[in-house]
């Protein structure tokens, strides 16, 4: 399935549109407005504010449901979990419509729970195309998300990167930076190796 990149600006995260699913909501509603009639579900890869800043507005505009992993649902309500104060803001203040769990299907994607950056970080993987929407678990430069925020864990992130490194990843679509349409496995393996050397 084609994945449309909606670039984040500044410290705010990228969003991606895949079929009727919008992944992450750190981009302003005007960036999503051209696709408002297509979007039925907003999947949040984790609860940090740079990925959730506009989820309430976008969900209302698109009449879409909101989904997040159970272990990060509280970040939509709590300032210390969302890191919203780092952005001079408050968390979205909503309860998700859907709780994501390991292995369930979202459109063409399978949910992979990848804790470490946050307890409820998730990636979406298309086993047919090999495309991975990675949130802040792994980036296209062979790096990975921070694990020194509340709820982060180097050990958990190392295990998550190892799980992803076992996949055949073609396209890598990270929460920040540029997506890579080919060779994603190389970047994931580089991140899995790097975290062990730090």
Each residue of 116-174: pLDDT tens digit? Answer: 999 999 999 999 999 999 999 999 999 999 999 989 999 999 999 999 999 999 999 99
Each residue of 143-159: pLDDT tens digit? Answer: 999 999 989 999 999 99
Quote the number of domains for the chain.
1
Domain hosting residue 43, numbered range: 4-197
| Residue 168 to residue 20: CA distance in whole angstroms | 24
CA 71 to the chain's CA centroid: 14
CATH for 134: 3.60.15.10
42 membership: H or E segment, kind and range: strand 41-43
Query: Are 20 and 40 spatial neighbours (Cβ–Cβ below 8 Å)?
Result: yes
Each residue of 53-77: pLDDT tens digit? Answer: 999 999 999 999 999 999 999 999 9
Angle in degrees, CA 88, 114, 121, rounded to 5: 20
Each residue of 99-115: pLDDT tens digit? Answer: 999 999 999 999 999 99
């Amino acid at each position: 399935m084609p994945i449309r990149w909606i670039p984040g600006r500044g410290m705010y995260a990228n969003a991606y549109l895949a079929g009727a699913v919008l992944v992450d909501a750190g981009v302003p509603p005007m960036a999503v407005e051209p696709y408002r009639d297509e979007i039925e579900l907003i999947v949040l890869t984790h609860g940090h504010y740079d990925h959730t800043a506009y989820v309430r507005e976008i969900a209302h505009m698109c009449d879409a449901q909101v989904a997040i992993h159970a272990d990060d649902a509280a970040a939509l309500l709590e300032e210390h979990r969302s890191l919203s104060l780092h952005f001079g803001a408050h968390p979205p203040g909503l309860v998700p419509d859907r709780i994501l769990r390991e292995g369930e299907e979202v459109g063409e994607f399978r949910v992979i729970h990848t804790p470490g950056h946050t307890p409820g970080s998730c990636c979406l993987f298309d086993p047919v195309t090999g495309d991975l929407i990675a949130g802040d678990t792994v980036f296209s430069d062979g790096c990975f998300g921070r694990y020194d925020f509340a709820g982060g864990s180097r050990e958990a992130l190392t295990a998550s990167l190892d799980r992803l490194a076992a996949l055949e990843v073609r396209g890598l679509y990270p929460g920040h930076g540029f997506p890579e349409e080919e060779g994603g496995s190389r970047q994931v393996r580089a991140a899995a190796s790097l975290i062990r050397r730090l």
